[in-house]
Amino acid sequence: MSQPATLSLPGLAAPGEAAARPRVLAIDVVRGLAMVLMAIDHIREFWCPTPVRPEDVAQAPAALFLTRWITHFCAPTFVFLAGVSIFLYQQKQPGRGAVSRFLLTRGLWLVVLELVVINFLLQWGYPLLVLEVIWALGWSMVLLAGAIWLPRWLLASLALAIIFGQHLVPAAQPVTAASAGWALLYHSPFLLPMQPVSVLAAYTVLPWAAVMAAGYVAGPWFGAPPAVRTRWLRLAGGAALLFFVGLRATNWYGDPSPWSMQPRGAGYTLLSFLNVTKYPPSLLFLSLTLGGALLLLAVAGRRPSRLSGWLSTYGRVPLFYFVLHFCLISGGAYVWTRLAFGQAINLSFAAVKDWPAGYQPSLLRLYAVWVVVVALTYWPCRWYQGYKQRHAYWWLSYL
């Protein structure tokens, strides 16, 4: 039986890890919060798609906008904390070689998981391959498998250069088979028609790899005494949010979508100000979301409570939760549409004109399903967390 991996990444927290080193509760709590909120957006796509885009402040109701906007914090937090956990894992290893090999194999496994399992749950037979967050996370690990050999100052410089300088990089236009390689590294979402299955790239790799690298570089903060860690996190989070407000106000740089005064009133003007671009994650998107995440990390888990214990359950087994919650959301939507409309229809893929006549978007339905999904996943996640702590099978580090 091989030694258990102790990497506390999405799906990588390993058996016996608690005995190997003390866990940083704040990481588990904030990652668990990200996972729980993430479900809102996935449920919205299957159970409550709308004819207007939630980000369209000129048309979307404020409640719909905020339902989408709050989930923006999930992916950056998810990926940043993966980088932090890689650094913490590395401190327990005799050398970087083992870490590099594990990141390479683990990253490629996540890519396969995205292409095979997650797409099966998404598609319902649609001839479309969707590249989303697990895809980007996997390739980010593959890149970091080599990048961890760089001096820390150089890796930090490269991560910041990508995050701050990305808007100076010309996009490949149009995306063709010849330019797809670069477009998969950095581009807005694009559809590449192919036979027999077309490819929809929602998450391109390079900005997310930079976020993971930033988390890796920030890893030493989480090994510092709690008071020092809290001070650094507060300073970094506050600086990121102040930077966001100052640069966003200028409409000069940092996001391809400028904000504007809205005829619907001051409230919608504020929403326009907050409406930053996720695909790919802009400088201002990352400043806002990671700034908020850093402040949460500064306060989360300081006083263990029932809430922090509940959230940390999801945060300790995030990949297990991710796959399980997608099974419930997708499978539930299949059954619901079949019973409600006489046929199973994937509302997230279907064009508006093809929606059943009786379908109406409902945020109440969305949040009701969210509560049910989160509740149903809790006990399996708690069981799996205990199982991994009690067993040392090597393959558990890949699940």
Q: How far is 120 from 113, CA to CA, in rounded Å?
A: 10
Per the domain annotation, does 133 fall within a domain?
A: yes
Give the pair of three-digit tokens for residue 305.
């409570």
Question: Helices 96-113 and 74-90 meet at what angle, rounded to 10?
Answer: 150
Per the domain annotation, does 223 fall within a domain?
A: yes
- pLDDT for 4 equals 34
Per the domain annotation, does 3 fall within a domain?
A: no
Per the domain annotation, does 1 fall within a domain?
A: no
Q: How far is 307 from 302, CA to CA, in rounded Å?
A: 12
Per the domain annotation, does 12 fall within a domain?
A: no
Q: How far is CA 38 from CA 11, 33, 35, 207, 394, in A?
A: 15, 8, 5, 19, 28
Q: What is the distance of C-alpha 17 from the center of its chain?
A: 23
Give the pair of three-digit tokens for residue 25.
């509760």
184 closest CA partner among 270, 293, 113, 111: 111
Per the domain annotation, does 10 fall within a domain?
A: no
Q: How far is 254 from 210, CA to CA, in rounded Å?
A: 16
* pTM greater than 0.75: yes
Q: How far is 304 from 309, CA to CA, in rounded Å?
A: 7
Domain tally for the chain?
1
Per the domain annotation, does 359 fall within a domain?
A: yes
Alpha helices in 251-317 (DSSP H): 266-274, 283-299, 306-316
| Kind plus residue range of the DSSP H or E element containing 198 | strand 198-201
Q: What is the DSSP letter of 116?
A: I
Per the domain annotation, does 35 fall within a domain?
A: yes
Domain that holds residue 309: 17-398
**Which residues share a beta bridge with 198?**
128
Q: How far is 13 from 170, CA to CA, in rounded Å?
A: 38
- Per-block mean pLDDT, blocks of 10 residues, the chain (399 long): 37 40 87 98 97 97 98 98 95 92 96 95 87 96 98 98 93 79 91 87 96 98 94 98 98 97 97 97 98 97 89 96 97 97 93 94 98 98 93 76
